[in-house]
Amino acid sequence: MIFLDADDYWNARNALSVLAGILSSHEGLDVLRSVSWDNAAHDARPTFEDVNSDGAECSGQEFTGIEYLSGENFFLDVWTSCYRREFLIDNDLYFRENVTYEDGDWSTKVFWKARRVLLVSFPF
């Protein structure tokens, strides 16, 4: 599962196929997380180009969710990750209603339960 807000966009035309390739070579991940993103200005026009899926940005480092939570680079947003649907359902990881800053509330629970998290620098 991937969560896209109204102001989000795919960074590359082939982002989904690159993600599929990463996921197929790392079966059983609970979370695939990008540690990089394009924080373009509100009025900027994204450039949609294909990316090379063989690049170093698609390889990554694997952690447990607790190891990731304990690190200094943990951030709370949900839109830079791809989540295994069965992992979310099996662990009752749903967004609570009427919660302000729901990304932080939900992300903390997700990473507390995650056994396998892969961090990549591919800004999907």
Which residue type occupies 118? L
In this predicted model, what pLDDT tens digit does every residue of 39-75 receive, in sequence order? 555 555 555 555 665 654 556 889 999 999 888 778 7
Which tokens sit at 117?
């998290």
What is the number of structural domains in the chain? 1
Domain for residue 6, yes or no?
no
Q: Which helix (H) or strand (E) holds 32?
A: strand 31-34
- Yes or no: say if 48 and 83 are a contact pair by the CB < 8 Å rule: no
Task: Give the side-chain half-sphere CA count within 13 A for 121.
Answer: 5
Phi, psi (degrees; rounded to nearest 5) at 108 = -60, -45
Q: Which helix (H) or strand (E) holds 22?
A: helix 15-25
Domain ranges, residue 59: 15-120
In this predicted model, what pLDDT tens digit does every residue of 110-121 receive, in sequence order? 999 999 999 988
The pTM (predicted TM-score) of the whole model is 0.81
Domain for residue 70, yes or no?
yes
Domain for residue 31, yes or no?
yes
- Yes or no: say if 38 and 11 are a contact pair by the CB < 8 Å rule: yes
